[in-house]
C-alpha cells in the first residue's frame, strides 16, 4: 500500500476501524488486561509483530474496498452508469438547470471533442447517452484531480465506501465474538464491547445507501464546480 494521503485516510483508516473485532477476540481470548488491550489498539500491534499487523490491515483494506465497490457501489450506481457524476449531466435530471448543463456540455465538447447526447438522443438511447457522459467524466477527473476540494471529497467518498464495505466483514466477525464470549468462553466485557461495535457496523450497513449517495453527490457537485471554474 502506497502511504499517500488518499490511501492512509480512505483505505488504511477504514481497515483499522474494521479490525476492532479481531483485536477484541485475540486479546480477550488470551486474557490480556483491558489496559493492554487499549494500548494494543493504539499501536495496532495485536500479534506482537508490526509487519504481520500491517499485512492484515492491508488485506482488510483490499477486502473492504472490493466489497464497497463490487457490492454496494454497483448496487446503487450500476457500475458507475448511474453515479451522480453521470446523473447530473442527464437531460432528464433536474439537479442542474438546463442552461448550466448546456454550458457544461459545451465545455466538454471544446476540451475533449466529446459531444454529449441531445434530449431526443438521450430519450432514444439512454445507455449510449450515459456512456458518453461516463467517458467525458473520466477525462474531467484527470483534468481537475489535483483540485483541493475535489481531492478532499474523493478521499471522503472513498473513506465511507471502504468503511461500509469493511463493516460487512466486521459485523459478521462481531457476531462470532458475541457467540464466543456468550457461550464458549463467557466474558462480559468483550461481550458488551462486541455488541456495541456490532451495532455500529449494522447501522452503517442499514444506512449505507443514503450515506454513500450523499458523499457521491457532494463529490460530483465539487467536481463540476472546479471543472467549470477552471480558466
CB atoms within 10 A of CB 142: 10
Average pLDDT, integer, range 111-126: 96
For residue range 139-181, list pLDDT tens digits in order. Answer: 999 999 778 899 999 999 999 999 999 999 999 999 999 999 9
Q: Is the pTM of this model over 0.75?
A: yes
For residue range 28-55, list pLDDT tens digits in order. Answer: 875 554 455 555 555 554 445 455 567 7
Tell which residue, 166, 88, 164, 162, has the closest CA to residue 130: 88
| 147/169 Cα distance (integer angstroms) | 33
Q: Which of 60-69, 106-115, 206-215 has the lowest mean pLDDT?
A: 60-69
Tell which residue, 129, 54, 103, 120, has the closest CA to residue 228: 103
pLDDT of residue 2: 64
| 86/132 Cα distance (integer angstroms) | 9
What are the C-alpha distances in Å from 102 to residues 61, 65, 90?
40, 35, 11
Amino acid at each position: 500500500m502506497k502511504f499517500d494521503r488518499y490511501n492512509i485516510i480512505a483505505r488504511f483508516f477504514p481497515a483499522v476501524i474494521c479490525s476492532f473485532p479481531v483485536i477484541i477476540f485475540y486479546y480477550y481470548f488470551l486474557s490480556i488486561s483491558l489496559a493492554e488491550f487499549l494500548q494494543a489498539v493504539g499501536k495496532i500491534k495485536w500479534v506482537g509483530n508490526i509487519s504481520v499487523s500491517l499485512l492484515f490491515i492491508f488485506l482488510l483494506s483490499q477486502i473492504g474496498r472490493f466489497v464497497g465497490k463490487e457490492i454496494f457501489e454497483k448496487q446503487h450506481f450500476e457500475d458507475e452508469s448511474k453515479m451522480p457524476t453521470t446523473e447530473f449531466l442527464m437531460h432528464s435530471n433536474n439537479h442542474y438547470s438546463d442552461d448550466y448543463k448546456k454550458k457544461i456540455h459545451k465545455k466538454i465538447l471544446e476540451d475533449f471533442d466529446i459531444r454529449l447526447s441531445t434530449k431526443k438522443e438521450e430519450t432514444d438511447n439512454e445507455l449510449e447517452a450515459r456512456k458518453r457522459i461516463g467517458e467525458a467524466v473520466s477525462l474531467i477527473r484527470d483534468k481537475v484531480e489535483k483540485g483541493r476540494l475535489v481531492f478532499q471529497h474523493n478521499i471522503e467518498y472513498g473513506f465511507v465506501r471502504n468503511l461500509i464495505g469493511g463493516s460487512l466483514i466486521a459485523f459478521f466477525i462481531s457476531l462470532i465474538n458475541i457467540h464466543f464470549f456468550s457461550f464458549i468462553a463467557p466474558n462480559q466485557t468483550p461481550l458488551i464491547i462486541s455488541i456495541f461495535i456490532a451495532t455500529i457496523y449494522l447501522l452503517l450497513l442499514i444506512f449505507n445507501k443514503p450515506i454513500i449517495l450523499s458523499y457521491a453527490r457532494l463529490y460530483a457537485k465539487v467536481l463540476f464546480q472546479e471543472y467549470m471554474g477552471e480558466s
